[in-house]
Structure 1
């Protein structure tokens, strides 16, 4: 009987299972993620190589004039190395790791989840998937609010393939704002914002897309000359001055809306 159980376990029948329980389901970039991985033994003794956790998201990239979504790990964490589990035995493995500053936030179409990978030696691996909500970092929140105060509203937030930024991840999260103020409705199509939070400050990239006006405007739009890319670095002191932050972005947008 034991032989047939081992054969069954090797193809996933009666094999060990894994369940990850998070202490919280909501985080901000820079927070500690804590919880416990529970492994429940199956019908036979099994040897596990390791357990890994991956914070996952997805991004869109253009391929042959169409949009294709790719999954990407944000960070990985080794919970435990090899161990053996007996039939029906339950093992608990607490874990903790920090969520990186460049973790995207769950706005718009962006979703994030923690994937658990249990590597079973000589058998079919087991896994678990837990969705989490990631709120903006407080500094990012201040910048997004400042853009709103200038006279814009958030239309979309998505992760896009962007190797030219030369960052750790192959993508950046882009926040797409459209004007609500009459001051900009006739002058700008949109303002796209990318935030790179660091330990002591943040870099903000803005792509300011002017409305096409007349033949010259049409030519500018056709050759993407209507878009103005501005990059600004804000230190911790500047990021804590809400009124000054709004004035700074108003000046930048006004200067490039002409």
Structure 2
């Protein structure tokens, strides 16, 4: 084996390559992800410590009055343990794992991708990135539609740093709605929803942001008293209701806090 080939491979030149092929590219949280990892040997024999799959996303963090993006691992899956790949040899490894329930939805600026990391012993790791589309879980989709039926339009969906929610991940995905009917246009600036999906139900954190009216309204706004945060837990039975029933429930809840005065 050429010394120079070994040195080049350790620097990533002529080393093993990895390509992950997913059986499909669109999923819901909780779905099974399946596919095959293809590894092709380079110019020299190489020992591979393992192959890991990471489900990745990014979130916004405010730092020094700037909004910057940070990458975050949603989950890690060990797809392959140690093996050796010979020069020009090709190996394939099927895999399957579940997409976590707290995976953000592909809306607005939110991106989700699967990163494959080929850990090469004494060499530069090989990587592959595959973007996926994450659709809303049926329960979340039902709530989003119900809120729209209440007279709101989805304006933005961002993943934002939020350690105060004390979730598994350092961020939450916020769905920002603005009113598009007279009923709420003169009362609210916006409402924001954050979902916490579980196997047996769904928790919704609903923030209602009221419009400032007069001096007292201005004072509320300065003290952040114009915002009310409400947590709503919905069971499977609640979520099995039709959208009209859910829209009625949320309309009553939003109205209650839209009319609240400090």
Q: Scaled by the length of structure 1, what TM-score is found? A: 0.99
Provide the residue aligned with 1:194 in structure 2: 194
Deviation, structure 1 residue 62:
1.4
Provide the residue aligned with 1:64 in structure 2: 64
3-state SS in 1 of match to 2:100: coil
Q: What is the rounded CA distance, in whole Å, between the counterparts of 1:240 and 1:153 in structure 2?
A: 23
1:248 aligns with 2:249: yes
Q: What is the rounded CA distance, in whole Å, between the counterparts of 2:246 and 2:79 in structure 1?
A: 41
Q: What is the rounded CA distance, in whole Å, between the counterparts of 2:10 and 2:72 in structure 1?
A: 29
C-alpha distance after superposition, 1:14-62 (max 9, x if no partner): 1000000000000000000000000100011000110000000001111
3-state SS in 2 of match to 1:184: helix
Provide the residue aligned with 1:86 in structure 2: 86
C-alpha distance after superposition, 1:191-236 (max 9, x if no partner): 0000111001000010000000011111111111100100000000
Deviation, structure 1 residue 188:
0.2
3-state SS in 2 of match to 1:224: coil
3-state SS in 1 of match to 2:102: coil
Q: Scaled by the length of structure 2, what TM-score is found? A: 0.97
Q: What is the rounded CA distance, in whole Å, between the counterparts of 2:62 and 2:222 in structure 1?
A: 19
Deviation, structure 1 residue 169:
0.6
Matches within 5 A, 1:151-166: 151-166=151-166
Provide the residue aligned with 2:168 in structure 1: 168
Unaligned 5+ residue runs, structure 2?
Answer: none
1:55 aligns with 2:55: yes
Aligned residues: 258
Unaligned 5+ residue runs, structure 1?
Answer: none
Matches within 5 A, 1:114-153: 114-153=114-153
Deviation, structure 1 residue 240:
1.2
Q: What is the rounded CA distance, in whole Å, between the counterparts of 1:165 and 1:217 in structure 2?
A: 28
